[in-house]
Structure 1
Amino acid sequence: MTKADETTRQIVSEIAALKQVLRDATVKLSHLESLVQGKLGSHQPREIGDLEAMANDPAIQAEIAAINAEFAVTEMDGLEGL
């Protein structure tokens, strides 16, 4: 066996090992992705409901109106088109 043959076999062997590592990593990443999507899916509706409740809350609406009134002067500083 020549030196080139040995080098070629070593490279092929290392590529095969790397392919297996990548397969294992892909399986683990897919599992992690599923877990994250499951967490997002289970919390999203509640959070959206919380935001809707806040948006419809008269006290919060009054606070937003007060903040808007307080900062109305800054809307006239020429930056509103940016």
Structure 2
Amino acid sequence: MTKRPLDILDQVLNRQPVIVSLKGGREIRGVLQGYDVHMNLVLDKAEEVENGQVQKVGTLIVRGDNVIYISPSLE
């Protein structure tokens, strides 16, 4: 059965880290706490990954129009 994109997000909600790629080349990793139909995201334990360096951000709200993709993290 083909899954809808929001069904896949429901599977990782509050469970495992996700990687969020943003416009401008930024990448955020964190635990998805919530989202809406506009792909606005709430991430907990968020970290920004840049040039192999990790900077802890904490809780973060990402505006949906900046999101390129969301992927479950393998870590």
TM-score of the superposition, structure 1-length normalised?
Answer: 0.21
TM-score, normalized by length of structure 2?
A: 0.22
Higher helix proportion (structure 1 or 2): 1
